[in-house]
Structure 1
Amino acid sequence: MERLFREDYELTTGEDVRVQTTIVPPARAQIDPQKETAAQIARMQSGLTSWSDEVLASGKDPAEHLEQIIAERKAIGNAKIAFSSSPVIEADPEEEAEEQAEKDADANRDPAEDDEA
C-alpha cells in the first residue's frame, strides 16, 4: 500500500516522498486471558517484545492507545479515584488552565467570523 502511494505520488508530482505506515492487524481472541496476559508481561519484562509490539498484537494502534491511557489516568486523578492497579497522573494546573482558556475562546467566538474567513 505504501509503495503504491509513493509510486503514484512520485509519478504525479515528480518528487520523492517518504511515507511511514503502521498496519494494525486484527486482534485474535484469547483462549486463556490470564495465562496469555502473564506471558505478554513476561515477554516485555525479558525484553523479547516491546509494549508497542504487544499493543499491536492486541489489534490496537500504540500511539492512540497511549493517548487514551494518559487521558483516562488524568481524568481518574481529577476525580480523585484510586485503583490498586494503576498510578494516578495528576493533571498539570497550567495545562488545565490552557485547555479551559481554549474552551472559553471557542465558546465566545462569533460564528459570523468563521463565515468571513
Structure 2
Amino acid sequence: MKKWEAWERETTSLEYQFNNDPSRFRLTHQTSFIRRHSGLSTTPGLRWTVAFFRQFFASVTKVDYMTMRRGFINAHFAPNSKFDFHKYIKRSMEDDFKVVLGISIPLWICCIVFLLTNFKGMT
C-alpha cells in the first residue's frame, strides 16, 4: 500500500490530469488495463494460476489502482473532484480489519479461561 500513496500523489500533477482527461476519446481495448487482463490470463486453467501467484507479488498494479480510483470517483463524485482515494481505501481496510479480527471482551475471557484450565490436553 505504500506504492498506492505515491500513485495518489501523482494524480495531482498536471501531466496526469492531461493524460487522463475524460474528454479525450480512447478506445477501451487500447487501455493498458485491458491489455494487462487479456492475453495468457484469459485461458481458464491458467487464469487461476496467474491470480494465485499475483496475490503474493503484485496484486494491485499501478494500472489497476488508477482504474479502480477512476471508476470509484466517476460513480460517486463529480468529474475532476479532488478525492483522496488512497486515504479512503486505507480507512475502509482498517475498519474491515477491526470487524473481521475484532474479538469481544467476553470471548477473550472465555479463551483465556479455557487455555488456563485445559492442562489435561498438554500431557
Q: TM-score, normalised by structure 2?
A: 0.25
- Bigger helix share: 2
Q: TM-score, normalised by structure 1?
A: 0.26
